[in-house]
């Protein structure tokens, strides 16, 4: 068994096979996924105003959320501690028990740098969350729109949320105007969270009620698509940067490999489809004024 076979699970390897990823590239990619956080990753996450998370609820469904960090984060090679729980943790019934799977994405919108951490919950007390690190690695800056993030000083108010129907007008407006969103997936007992972006309208509803988005060329790890292949589920966090609101949803997911369907979107390599099971409209997810400045156009 090679190191890539140990790092990438069956679902990831199946997508890599179908996409024609050569074995020597997989082996090199596997070496870039570390079992601990290097010092530069620790410094990076400690200086971010918020972190994005992928977690599961009590039913095993994945949710993407975010933790604004008024007091910051603290990192070592083995642990990442957040002074703030993910938004709507209670309402969504997120599993924060020790041993539960967790994924973290640190993203600096100004520089377009992003790093990932996958692991398990070590402790969740009050408003603090500690994650034991199992994997740490970087991602390329493609498709990230530059934005300036500034959180207000002091304690942040809790987000207010309402469970909504798929045809809700506010949800539709946020979805159709989004140029950035986050996707959480899980498989083989693990969780993952990733950034997705493109021009406004990158996320579109199908006639059958599913949401779809193009999968562009990336690092070919296929963490997200591999988890979808293995579990058939995904969760989305769709920010509305103008108002500070967001749509959070979880549902059934699939990869559409149809060449004809993929050809409808310039640059797409395949299409991901998610049929929502549960949708929430949250207000105050990103405090007023947290995101300022225009997004930078272009995919990279």
Sheet of strand 79-82, all strands in order from the earlier edge strand to the far edge? 62-68, 50-56, 101-108, 113-125, 128-139, 79-82, 73-75
For the chain, what is the mean pLDDT? 89
pLDDT digits (tens, 9 = 90+) for 173-207: 999 999 999 999 999 868 999 999 999 999 999 98
Q: At what angle do helices 223-231 and 10-19 cross, to 10 degrees?
A: 120
Set out the domains of the chain in order of their start, with CATH numbers: 3-292 (2.30.110.10)
Residues contacting 11, CB < 8 A, separation 6+: 187, 188, 225, 226, 227, 228, 229, 230, 231
Find the angle CA(26)-CA(32)-CA(33) to the nearest 5 degrees.
95
Own/partner long-range contacts of 48-52 (Cβ < 8 Å, ≥24 apart): 48/73, 48/106, 48/107, 48/108, 49/149, 49/150, 49/151, 49/290, 50/149, 50/151, 50/286, 50/290, 51/82, 51/104, 51/105, 51/106, 52/104, 52/105, 52/106, 52/107, 52/182, 52/193, 52/195, 52/237
pLDDT digits (tens, 9 = 90+) for 218-257: 888 899 999 999 999 999 999 998 888 999 999 999 999 9
Residue with tokens 């699970």: 9
Q: Please give the pLDDT value at position 1.
A: 61
What values do phi and psi take at 4, rounded to 5? -65, -30
What is the C-alpha to C-alpha distance for residues 36 and 151, in angstroms, rounded to an integer?
Answer: 29
- pLDDT band for 122, please (50, 70, 90 cuts): very high
Q: Please give the pLDDT value at position 287.
A: 61
Task: Say yes or no to pLDDT of 130 above 70.
Answer: yes
Contact 211, 276 (CB under 8 A): yes
Residues contacting 193, CB < 8 A, separation 6+: 52, 53, 54, 64, 103, 104, 105, 116, 182, 183, 184, 185
Above pLDDT 90, what percent of the chain?
70
Task: Say yes or no to pLDDT of 148 above 90.
Answer: no
Residue with tokens 């994945």: 62
- pLDDT band for 155, please (50, 70, 90 cuts): low
Task: Say yes or no to pLDDT of 142 above 50.
Answer: yes
């Amino acid at each position: 068994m090679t190191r890539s076979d140990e790092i990438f699970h069956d679902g990831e390897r199946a997508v890599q096979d179908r996409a024609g990823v050569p074995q020597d590239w997989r082996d090199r990619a596997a070496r870039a996924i570390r079992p601990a956080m290097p010092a530069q990753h620790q410094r990076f996450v400690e200086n971010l105003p918020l972190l994005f998370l992928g977690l599961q609820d009590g039913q095993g469904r994945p949710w993407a959320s975010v933790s604004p960090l008024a007091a910051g984060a603290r990192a070592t090679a083995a642990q990442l501690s957040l002074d703030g729980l993910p938004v709507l943790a209670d309402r969504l019934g997120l599993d924060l028990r020790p041993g539960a799977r967790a994924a973290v994405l640190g993203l600096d919108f100004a520089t377009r740098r992003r790093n990932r951490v996958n692991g398990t919950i070590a402790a969740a007390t009050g408003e603090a969350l500690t994650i034991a690190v199992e994997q740490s690695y970087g991602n390329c800056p493609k498709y990230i729109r530059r934005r300036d993030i500034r959180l207000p000083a002091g304690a942040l108010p809790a987000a207010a949320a309402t469970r909504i129907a798929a045809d809700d007008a506010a949800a539709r407006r946020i979805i159709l105007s989004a140029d950035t969103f986050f996707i959480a997936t899980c498989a083989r007992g693990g969780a993952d969270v990733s950034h997705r972006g493109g021009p406004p309208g990158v996320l579109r509803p199908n006639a059958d009620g599913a949401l779809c988005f193009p999968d562009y060329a990336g690092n070919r790890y296929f963490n997200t698509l591999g988890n979808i292949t293995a579990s058939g589920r995904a969760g989305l966090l769709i920010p509305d940067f103008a108002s500070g609101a967001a749509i959070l949803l979880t549902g059934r997911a699939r990869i559409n490999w149809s060449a004809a369907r993929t050809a409808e979107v310039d640059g797409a390599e395949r299409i991901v489809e998610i049929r929502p099971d549960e949708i929430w409209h949250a207000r105050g997810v990103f405090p007023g004024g947290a995101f300022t400045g225009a997004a930078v156009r272009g995919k990279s």
